Structure 1
Amino acid sequence: MTLTGVYVPLITPFDATGAADFAALEALANETLAAGASGLVALGTTAEPTSLNAAEQRGVVDVIARACRERSAHLLVGASTVEAVNVLCCRPGVTAALSVVPPFLRPGEAGVVAHFAALATVSPVPLVVYHVPYRTGQNLSADAIRRLADLDGVVGIKYAVGGIDTATLELLADLPAEFAVLGGDDAFISPLLALGAHGGVLASAHVATARFVELVDAWRGGTAARARTLGHHLAAISSAMFAEPNPTVIKAVLHAQGRIPTAAVRLPLLAAGPDAAESALQQVDTQGHAIVGARR
């Protein structure tokens, strides 16, 4: 199994009382899957999982799992510890756990590989490594990622290094077999796909979902001219969506579109400022019209 396409790490909507709104979450799940997403991520960073209590976390996974099951879509669940992955044994239908490289400790490449070897041994589902060095403090070379790919039970990587660096070029020039590279920096997804990535875990794909799906299909199908055009427009949307801490702007846009009841986030996040929200809405509108116009 090689994961391909667009995976949307869903937000957790909150209602006017501050409670998790599972009906709004279910609607978002079905909308993004209907627009062509290959799968969804539950309890990713975009979902504000550390601000959710245990019952809310279970509810989030229940809702998203049901939507994926009904549409035969892949389901990834954020789970980075032995305790968290063990919970997934009771959840049929989970495709993989999305497991972050151990943050803050900076254990070195050998420590990272040993960590994932141990986690894969006990996990009831395959693992997708989440590599985001500007959050974890731990860089990984292309060689270290290939060692991770060689581990039984590790099937891919969410690759979010903040750009296209030498390790990126080395990795994508010689991809491990049956190992998925999914871009995790939304603004850089187009060049990453051009270099051979299999898809992306893209928070920006809450909006313009079908266009992100088209972008992946265009690069993987060899339609470079269309892919470049889409990539430029979608990068502008993504940059606006990440102008303030994720998922604050995304929530502001979804609320303005009438798709979630409030734009509320939980501490330590603060709601997006009005200027950032308005700018993102303008980009969604402007770039959406430009994409349609470019097709004609």
Structure 2
Amino acid sequence: MAYLSLEEIVQRCGNEGIPFWKAVQYSDMEDREATEQESFRMMEKMWRAMKEAGESYDKNQRSRSGLVGGMGGQMREYLEKGNSLSGSFISEVIAQALEMGEANACMHRIVAAPTAGACGVLPAVLLPIYKRQMASDTEITEAMYTAAGIGQVIASRAFIAGAAGGCQAEIGSASAMAAGALVCLRGGGPEQITHAAAMALKNLLGLVCDPVAGLVEVPCVKRNVIGAVNAVSSADMALAGITSRIPPDQVIDAMKEVGESMHISLKETGEGGVANTPEARKIKLNMNLQ
């Protein structure tokens, strides 16, 4: 049976003496009646798809609307100059998030983690670690189980769609998943994983979904960046022993409450927020005239 709370996963880890990722894998095996090997191969397939999506990025390609494209390349050029304020690792995370978000807008094959609009967050933190040989394919696959478990609980207790709960449900959930995955990769325990996820989600509580002209491009691509960077900072806090004062599952419940309270114009309708600015309305009008 799928988990209904992060605490349930933590308790299973303690009762059975297993890591967080293994508890999630066992749940997958039970739900799909799959063997351990079948389950792991499926998650490995997701990781390979993420790597392929990262490799497919073309800095010269633009989305059909022309709103996004090339920003990942710009960020990498800036990174190579060695003058970035955030340092080489975070700058690479930023570049990777932009590239993956732009790849999605340009109709490349991506992994929705948990949604297409938030597809850049998880690979933005995993790919730089892999490229720097800080983790193996097997270790990252295990971390992806951790991310999946967090996402599954959020989906069960709240929502992951911007149309249901605003961008906090998409980028916020993705950031929580990525934070937990990072703690897993750095050897953190189940409690640290859930607190990293809680802090990441709290930091993005109330984030609205306001796509310009109804496209998952502006401000969506750049929001993948903040989700990824937020995940890194939340993971580091958790690994330092800092905890969320509000229990992780209660944070998820709070996100649901906030999402349900949001006005419909701020939930993927393209009618509020930056989507309702003069410039955004002009963009939409020009697209309708084409």
* TM superposition score normalised by structure 1: 0.33
The structure where helix makes up a greater share of residues is 2
TM-score w.r.t. the length of structure 2 is: 0.34
Q: When you count strand as a share of all residues, which structure comes out higher?
A: 1
